[in-house]
Amino acid sequence: MRISKEDIEHIASLARLHLTEGEKDLFGLQLSSILDYMEKLNELDTTDVEPTSHVLPLSNVMRDDVSGPSIQREDALMNAPDHTDKFFRVPKIIE
């Protein structure tokens, strides 16, 4: 499939590219070869091929989210530099 110079100029304007005449010719040949290859791929029979999102079988490797006992408040506050009976005490940041 041959791409016209007008199509290359239109694509370049959409991409906000300023191309020289040599670049337009080069990109025209490259885009034409890409589209020719896509046409070749369209000739393949894919009726029995299931759609996939990845070529390798992937599975989630995360563990199940199971609730368990949490740390006691006293133990959590034990290493805090400053705390009250129930809360961490931090420096004031809003005046």
pLDDT higher than threshold 80 for residue 9? yes
State whether residue 83 is helix, strand or coil.
strand
Over residues 5-29, the mean pLDDT reads 94
pLDDT in tens, 60-91: 888 888 999 999 998 999 889 999 888 999 98
Distance between CA atoms of residues 80 and 87, nearest Å = 10
Alpha helices by DSSP H, 43-86: 73-77
Comparing 64 with 20, which gets the higher pLDDT?
20
pLDDT higher than threshold 80 for residue 1? no
Out of 4-18, 46-60, 77-91, least confident range: 46-60
Q: Which domains does the chain have, with CATH numbers?
A: 5-42 (1.10.20)
Q: What's the predicted TM-score (pTM) here? A: 0.48
